[in-house]
Amino acid sequence: MAAVESVTRSQSARRPGADAWEIYRQSPTAMLGLVLVLLISVLAIIGPLVYPVDPFEIIWAPMSAPGTTEHALLGTDYLGRDILAGLLVGAKATLIVGLTAAALTVIIGLVIGALAGFYLGMIDEILMRVTEFFQVLPPLLFAMVLVTMLSPSLWVVAVSIGVVSWPPTARLARAEFLRIRNLEYVTASRASGVRQGYIIWRVILPNALPPLIVSATLTIGTAILFEAGLSFLGLSDPNVMSWGLMIGSGREYMLDAWWIVTLPGVMIFFAVLGVSLVGDGLNDAFNPKLRRR
Amino acid sequence: MSVLKVDHLCVDYHSRTGHIRLVDDISFDIQPNKTLAIVGESGCGKSMTALAMMRLLPDGATITKGVITLEGDSLTDLPEAQMRDIRGASMSMIFQEPMTSLNPVFSVGEQIAEVLRLHTDLDKQQIREKVQALIRSVGISDAGQRSSAYPHELSGGMRQRIMIAMALACSPKVLIADEPTTALDVTVQAQIFSLLRDLQARTSTAIVLITHDMGVVAEMADDIIVMYAGRLAERGSVETVLSRPAHPYTRGLIDCVPHLQLGSNISHKSVTEIPGVVPALETIGAGCPFASRCGLSEEKCEAAMPELSEVRPSHQVACWNYQET
């Protein structure tokens, strides 16, 4: 009976991706991660519309604890600004930085890794030495230098984080390309006369994507932490509300008003947890060793 | 008029420690509508010869001597861009492992369509029709549904049929089949061969069939070349070579085929083996590479490599001690 079921299931799965979703769905932690990520995205997108309070505006007495006033549900910070408004608006900044940095990481890492792993030889040598150069610089320090040199806007922060975090992705992409370039279906498609560009981007890349998607997801989490770290050090855009900025500016009042730093801290915790769980779930879903069980 | 001619082909592998000759002075030609079998054990240079013809040698291996001509045009010094136009169009190849030679992330119809997009000017609608026609021509029913299937949803035999459809999409002059049935069941094997024969009769494609199975040779081929350690051991028409093999290696290969004998006197000694293995190519000296495994070996064999000599018209062998049979 079980055999019959497995046969019908494998036949109903049209695309290889459908199998992966089936596995992903069965993992409670992966689904929890997905829910967290969706929840935070919803907060970022519709939160400010439902609760249109300017997070920089002083609305009530400073350092009001959560629940003590109906004017600010989650209390106010050391200047009397609404914490809830800060959390909602800050979600957007956090997501923008996380996604931009991760996208940049994947794009740079993928192109460099793909070219190195496909062409080998001199190209590989040069690109891998460049990658190592970037890899040996302490990333936080490197990002701080970049942000300080340029103007500390949200986009500069996002790009800086991307620029310092691509080397592991490049190595991963290179390893996948090295593995796949010698597989029989690559030779077979060469034998059908396709161009090199087609082989790199249409034959090898789609087969190399699963681990790269996983690593990109995890990079979002790292980027969010990076942004928080830079903001904490006072290096991000002071005119854009973000969770890191809230923590950074409220750190002196940590003992008197715990909620100023704790609430954005909890948000960062859940955002990074959610993204990491999604990454783990994707890893299991794409892993061929687990798939055939 | 031969469609494909290989003349004194040599393929070398360059490594840090030196050169190894993978294919040494191989010559043959093939007529339209005929099948040439290249036979030998693993590591004899059969696949390298095939890949050299497609100019798809792996990194480090290059054609160092010889000329390959397709319909009178030399392929050996053709620019890569023009060679690409030939691959999959005038000359195509099917591989040993149908399980791994299709791209797992695209539907099989899409993969056949890609070959047509590359080499023909057909529009979308025509390509779709041609894909279905091709899938039907390799004996797969419900072509419409099968063309949207992914490789992992098909059986090995089915996938090899798809590979054949892909290889024949542009009616090539030459089809190179590198052990096309080794990974398949015997029953499926028979089906694939009869399919190849049917298609050949329709398209008069010349087939280069690479195999180690003398049974397959007898069933499929018109001519045969036997390779050993990258060199030509024997060459001739299938009838002559199989019925009167001259080279001891060819005889050994023929004796390796199990005979199915029914009745009371089943002889368990009907299968014999060739002792030893193909020598590592870097250890081959001046002599005949088969000498160490050969029952007829003498001093002369260790000292010098025998030239190809004529046993009878269009039957040649490279052996000092070949026996007239």
- Mean pLDDT value across residues B264-290: 73
pTM: 0.80
Question: Is residue B50 within 8 angstroms of chain A, CB to CB?
Answer: no
Of A16, A184, A190, the CB nearest to B150: A16
Amino acid identity at B31: Q
- Of chain B, the end-to-end C-alpha distance in Å amounts to 31
Residue A279, pLDDT score: 86
- What would you measure as the largest C-alpha separation in chain B, in angstroms? 68
Q: Which residues contact B162 (CB under 8 A, 6 or more apart)?
A: B98, B102, B108, B111, B112, B135, B138, B140, B151, B154
- In this structure, of B91-95, B165-169, B287-291, the range with the lowest mean pLDDT score is B287-291
Residue B209, pLDDT score: 94
High-pLDDT (> 70) share of chain A, %: 91
Interface test with B, best of A122, A183, A185, A291 (most B CBs within 10 A): A185
Q: Which residues of A touch B84 (CB under 8 A)?
A: 193-195
Dihedral angle sign, alpha carbons of residues A132, B17, A196, B162: negative
Integer CA distances (angstroms), A195 to A107, A202, B114, in order: 22, 10, 11
Residue B30, pLDDT score: 92
Burial bucket for residue A277 (CB in 10 Å: 0-12, 13-18, 19+): buried
Helices A258-286 and A83-119: angle between axes, nearest 10 degrees: 30
Q: Which residues of B touch A192 (CB under 8 A)?
A: 87-88, 92, 114-115, 118, 166-167
Residue A1, pLDDT score: 38
Amino acid identity at B57: L
pLDDT band at A4 (very low <50, low <70, confident <90, very high): very low
Complex-level ipTM? 0.82
Q: Closest chain A residue to B54 measured between Cα atoms?
A: A191
Residue B210, pLDDT score: 93
A140-144's contacts with Cβ under 8 Å and 24+ in sequence apart are: A140/A164, A140/A226, A140/A229, A140/A230, A143/A226, A143/A230, A144/A230, A144/A233, A144/A235
CB contact under 8 A, B150 and A193: no
> Vertex B56, ends B52 and B62: CA angle to 5°?
55
Residue B267, pLDDT score: 54
Q: Which residues of B touch A185 (CB under 8 A)?
A: 100-104
Q: What is the DSSP string of A143-179?
A: HHHHHHHS---HHHHHHHHHHHH-HHHHHHHHHHHHH
Q: Which residues of B touch A189 (CB under 8 A)?
A: 103, 111, 114
User: Residue B55: phi, psi to the nearest 5?
Assistant: 55, 45
- Mean pLDDT value across residues A90-119: 91
CB contact under 8 A, B88 and A10: no
Tokens of B188: 């499926």
Residue A103, pLDDT score: 92
Question: Is residue A188 within 8 angstroms of chain B, CB to CB?
Answer: yes
3-class SS of residue B69: strand
Integer CA distances (angstroms), B103 to A9, A62, A202, B142, B166, in order: 22, 63, 10, 21, 12
Task: Please report where in the chains the tokens 């792993």 appear, as a residue.
Answer: A117
Of B58, B115, B150, the CB nearest to A192: B115
Question: Is residue A207 within 8 angstroms of chain B, CB to CB?
Answer: yes
CA distance A10 to chain B (A): 8
Tokens of A45: 């997108």
Q: What is the mean pLDDT of chain B?
A: 87
- Mean pLDDT value across residues A56-80: 75
Q: Closest chain B residue to A195 measured between Cα atoms?
A: B84
Distance (Å, rounded) from C-alpha A25 to C-alpha A9?
15
CB contact under 8 A, A194 and B118: yes
- Mean pLDDT value across residues A37-57: 85
- Mean pLDDT value across residues A137-162: 87
Dihedral angle sign, alpha carbons of residues B255, B258, B262, B263: positive
Tokens of A208: 């190399």
Distance from the Cα of residue B66 to its chain's centroid: 19
Residue A244, pLDDT score: 85
Most confidently modeled of A13-22, A26-35, B265-274? A26-35
Question: Is residue A291 within 8 angstroms of chain B, CB to CB?
Answer: no
pLDDT higher than threshold 60 for residue A6: no
Tokens of B1: 């008029």
CB contact under 8 A, A15 and B150: yes
Of B106, B148, B166, the CB nearest to A192: B166
- Mean pLDDT value across residues B72-92: 90
- Mean pLDDT value across residues A129-154: 88
